[in-house]
Amino acid sequence: MSIKLVAIDLDQTLLRADKTYDVERFEAVVEQLTQQGVMVCIATGNSYHKIVEFFSASVLEKLHLAGDNGNFIMCDHEVEQVIGIERQTFLKLCDYFEGKDNFFICISTGEVSYMNVSEGIGFEKILKYNNEYKIVQDFSEIPEEQVATKIAIFSPRSLARNKVIAKELSDQFADLSVVTSGDDWVDAYHYEGGKGSAIQFFKERYQLKPEEVMAFGDSLNDESMMKEVKYSVAMSNADTDLALHCQYKIGSNEEQAVIDILERLVNEPDAQFMDQYEMNR
């Protein structure tokens, strides 16, 4: 059985630490895979307005985009699915952090992000990941018709400490999924959302089986999609807690290991070569 869908995380997976990747190789392999009927999905915590910064217009036409951790799906410039957080819930979460030091919140609605800081390290860090944004004094100023697809919390602490914070938030807010997304970030979204929900969307729409889907990731916000596919692939630089949920491990983002695998997939679409990357349990 051949691979029909490939889902790829961006930061620390496709992208190197400096936010670059081998554009020429990636564009060529996407073209080849598309010609073979393989769908390529970018499944990332980044929002739509940031994702498009990394790809040329010609490649974007071929990609499926599952931004905000899979909660805002765009295909060919059309919004296909949005999974949002109840307004009351995201306002309660913001209240939870009121008065707590060194937590900086950014709320995404898919196409625009809201923050309540305009200077300092929190602002600079959020700005790094958001091109379309608005500054508010209070998050209650977000228009009621806007749907919050992701809450990103910049928390300049150790990954271990942020995992504890994510667990505390999960216990406090039963209708949210809360995960770490890299070293300095904690992401919250609707409990029925996540990258796994995006994979479910594509599997249902295109009648795909788990063994026809491959996913690449490095952080715990990738965990839900790993559970939806047979070919769950962790980077060598991945969080060890994510690797526990993956069947395969490849090289690092710095080595452009994702592109290596995609190039092999062009010539070996049944993915049997992945056996050499299977992890010993």
State the Cα–Cα distance between residues 213 and 174, nearest whole angstrom.
30
Closest CA to 151 of 109, 210, 206: 109
- Chain Cα centroid distance, residue 238: 14
Domains, the chain, ranges and CATH? 5-82+193-277 (3.40.50.1000), 87-190 (3.30.1240.10)
Is residue 170 classed as helix, strand or coil in its secondary structure? helix
Sorted by sequence, the CB contacts under 8 Å of residue 54 that are 6+ apart come out as 10, 15, 19, 21
Q: Is the pLDDT reported for residue 43 higher than 80?
A: yes
Is residue 193 classed as helix, strand or coil in its secondary structure? coil
Mean pLDDT computed over 189-215:
98
Mean pLDDT computed over 249-265:
99
Return the percentage of the chain with pLDDT > 90, whole number: 96
Q: 171 near 90, Cβ under 8 Å?
A: no
Q: Is the pLDDT reported for residue 281 higher than 70?
A: no
Digit-coded pLDDT (tens) for 207-243: 999 999 999 999 999 999 999 999 999 999 999 999 9
Query: Would you state the pLDDT for residue 1?
Result: 86
Mean pLDDT computed over 251-258:
99
Mean pLDDT computed over 249-253:
99
Mean pLDDT computed over 42-64:
97
Residue ranges in 136-194 assigned as alpha helix (H): 159-172
Closest CA to 43 of 62, 17, 69, 23: 69
Digit-coded pLDDT (tens) for 155-179: 999 999 999 999 999 999 999 999 9
Digit-coded pLDDT (tens) for 109-123: 999 999 999 999 999
Sorted by sequence, the CB contacts under 8 Å of residue 191 that are 6+ apart come out as 174, 175, 176, 177
210 vs 100, 230, 231, CA distance in Å? 42, 5, 8
Mean pLDDT computed over 182-201:
96
Digit-coded pLDDT (tens) for 122-132: 999 999 999 99
Mean pLDDT, the chain, rounded, equals 97
Q: 191 near 176, Cβ under 8 Å?
A: yes
Q: Which of 174-183, 191-200, 248-257 has the lowest mean pLDDT?
A: 174-183
